[in-house]
Amino acid sequence: MAAQEVLLQVGEARCALRPDEACQLCQPGATGPDDCPVAWLVRHDPELAQELAEELRARQCG
């Protein structure tokens, strides 16, 4: 297995911005995606939320 691969275990929190990856706690003070300030900002900013939704749709379509 490559070092860059992230294996998601049952119950492991997923990144709100990169849903195919586990939460890496990349923001200081965050304990997971529920209190991640970057994820909060994207979810609550209409333009960023729309951009993320478009990106996720594009990934699903191939």
CB-based contact 24:45 (threshold 8 Å): no
Angle between helix 37-44 and helix 46-61 axes, rounded to 10 deg: 90
What is the per-residue pLDDT across 3-50, written as a single tens digit (0 to 9) for each? 445 554 556 788 888 888 888 988 998 888 889 999 899 889 999 999
Q: Distance (Å, rounded) from C-alpha 28 to C-alpha 36?
A: 9
The domain of 31 spans 27-62
Flag whether 48 is in a domain.
yes
Flag whether 18 is in a domain.
no
Flag whether 43 is in a domain.
yes
State whether residue 55 is helix, strand or coil: helix
Confidence class of residue 56 from pLDDT cuts 50, 70 and 90? confident
Residue 22, strand partner residues = 14
Flag whether 33 is in a domain.
yes
Flag whether 4 is in a domain.
no
Cα-Cα-Cα-Cα torsion 31, 37, 43, 46, nearest 10 degrees, comes to 180
Count the domains in the chain.
1
